């Protein structure tokens, strides 16, 4: 099997895979359009849009696996998703996207629709999570909870993200309910249930407990140890405060150390503020570094202006 592909070989290979997968899933043929404008793969009843690559770009087997994962995911939306079922709240719509994605993928894997479907879909979510771990600095921010759920509800995801205290029981029950769903209306009902549980969480982090009585006195008695402890505590406290103040999570800057992957552990899950928005959860489709095309085979990018999954909003990369 080839391990390197030029862009002019890569596109036909992905297109052929899409046609073969349509046959395997019992779906009508799909047309592939390649565009540099797309921010996530998307599909309607006839056309799928994917991020374009240059003719002379060199892509790897890993890139091919990622794109075929996109193709399978989008075709599963066509097979299982009832389009146009929405909720007025963006946060609930994003929870719905997370649950719908987990539902269609789990359903397809359980049915063993294609021979390596679990590998393809597992690699797709693991790749997205790896990017998220390098970008998101505070997983305890309620804006990230839908994505945390999107990972948690996929048994085929092997890379996990930090989870704030109090989310696990909610997400465990949500996963159980998701795997029992029969339709997109059922997945919306799960999303509404999850939002109600999240709304019952504390509205803010509890104050740290200060030592009292003999413990505090003993701490003062150890001069050297106390000085060292204060220095470390202040540094950690300042870093956590700075990352948690913004309305949305910050992204790791290129060239800077990756955020602590345990960020969010040890923190209590808090309720999303009414009217707040969540980070999008749909897998982000962009050409690999240094392979993107400056031209487009797509005559229009209208699909990204409409609802082709279960949301009416344009999607942006995780943590943007």
Interhelix angle 90-111/145-152, nearest 10 degrees? 10
Instruction: Tell me if 224 is assigned to some domain.
Output: no
With a CB cutoff of 8 Å and minimum separation 6, the contacts of 98 are 146, 147, 149, 150, 153, 191, 281
Instruction: Tell me if 85 is assigned to some domain.
Output: yes
The 10s digit of each residue's pLDDT in 34-62 is 988 776 778 877 889 999 999 999 999 98
| Range of the structural domain that residue 43 is part of | 4-203+267-305
Instruction: Tell me if 61 is assigned to some domain.
Output: yes
Mean pLDDT along residues 243-271? 48
Instruction: Tell me if 238 is assigned to some domain.
Output: no
Instruction: Tell me if 211 is assigned to some domain.
Output: no
- Rounded CA separation 173/272 (Å): 19
- Structural tokens at position 238: 């300042």
With a CB cutoff of 8 Å and minimum separation 6, the contacts of 197 are 170
**Span of 132-141, 194-203, 302-311 with lowest mean pLDDT:** 302-311
Share of the chain above pLDDT 90, in %: 50
Our CA angle for 90, 86, 128, nearest 5°, is 60
Asked if residue 49 lies in contact with residue 65, where contact means CB atoms within 8 angstroms, the answer is: no
Number of domains present in the structure of the chain: 1
- Rounded CA separation 104/79 (Å): 9
- Rounded CA separation 17/71 (Å): 8
The 10s digit of each residue's pLDDT in 100-154 is 999 999 999 999 887 789 999 999 999 989 988 988 989 999 999 999 999 999 9
More reliable by pLDDT, 199 or 237 = 199
Interhelix angle 184-199/90-111, nearest 10 degrees? 130
The 10s digit of each residue's pLDDT in 206-235 is 776 666 655 544 444 444 444 443 333 333
Mean pLDDT along residues 85-95? 92
Residues pairing with 59 in the sheet: 5
Instruction: Tell me if 246 is assigned to some domain.
Output: no
pLDDT of residue 289: 65
pLDDT of residue 312: 34
pLDDT bin (cut points 50, 70, 90) of residue 304 is very low
Mean pLDDT along residues 292-319? 38
Going by C-alpha positions, the residue among 62, 60, 70, 48 that lies closest to residue 6 is 60
Instruction: Tell me if 215 is assigned to some domain.
Output: no
pLDDT of residue 264: 55
- Rounded CA separation 87/92 (Å): 6
Mean pLDDT along residues 262-281? 81
**Span of 38-47, 83-92, 172-181 with lowest mean pLDDT:** 38-47
Instruction: Tell me if 193 is assigned to some domain.
Output: yes
pLDDT bin (cut points 50, 70, 90) of residue 299 is very low
**DSSP secondary structure letter of residue 263:** E
Span between the terminal Cα atoms of the chain, in Å: 36
More reliable by pLDDT, 298 or 8 = 8
Mean model confidence pLDDT for the chain: 77
Per-position DSSP letters for 118-182, written without gaps between them: HHHHHHHHHHHHHHHHHH-S-TTSGGGHHHHHHHHT-TT--S-----BTHHHHHHHHHHHHTT--
């Amino acid at each position: 099997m080839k391990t390197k592909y030029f862009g002019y070989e890569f596109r036909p290979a992905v297109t052929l895979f899409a046609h073969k997968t349509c046959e395997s899933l019992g779906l009508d043929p799909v047309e592939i359009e390649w565009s540099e404008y797309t921010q996530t793969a998307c599909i309607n009843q006839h056309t799928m849009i994917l991020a374009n690559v240059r003719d002379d770009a060199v892509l790897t087997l890993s890139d091919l696996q990622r794109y075929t994962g996109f193709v399978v995911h989008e075709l599963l939306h066509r097979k299982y998703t009832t389009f146009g079922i929405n909720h007025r709240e963006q946060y609930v719509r994003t929870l719905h996207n997370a649950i719908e994605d987990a539902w269609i993928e789990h359903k397809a894997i359980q049915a063993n629709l294609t021979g390596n479907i679990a590998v393809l879909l597992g690699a797709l979510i693991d790749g997205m999570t790896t990017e998220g771990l390098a970008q998101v600095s505070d997983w305890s921010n309620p804006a990230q909870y839908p994505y945390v759920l999107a990972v948690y509800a996929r048994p085929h995801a092997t890379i996990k993200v930090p989870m704030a205290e109090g989310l696990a029981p909610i997400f465990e029950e949500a996963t159980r309910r998701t795997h029992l769903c029969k339709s997109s209306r059922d997945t919306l009902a799960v999303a509404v249930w999850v939002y109600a549980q999240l709304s019952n969480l504390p509205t803010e982090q509890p104050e740290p407990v200060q030592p009292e009585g003999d413990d505090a006195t003993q701490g003062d008695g150890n001069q050297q140890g106390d000085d060292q402890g204060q220095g470390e505590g202040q540094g950690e406290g300042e870093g956590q405060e700075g990352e948690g103040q913004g309305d949305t999570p910050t992204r790791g800057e290129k060239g800077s150390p990756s955020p602590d992957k345990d960020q969010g552990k040890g923190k209590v899950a808090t309720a999303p503020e009414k009217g707040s928005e969540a980070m999008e959860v749909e897998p982000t489709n962009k050409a690999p570094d240094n392979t993107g095309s400056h031209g487009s085979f797509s005559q229009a990018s209208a699909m990204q202006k409409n609802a082709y999954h279960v949301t009416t909003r344009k999607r942006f990369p995780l943590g943007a």
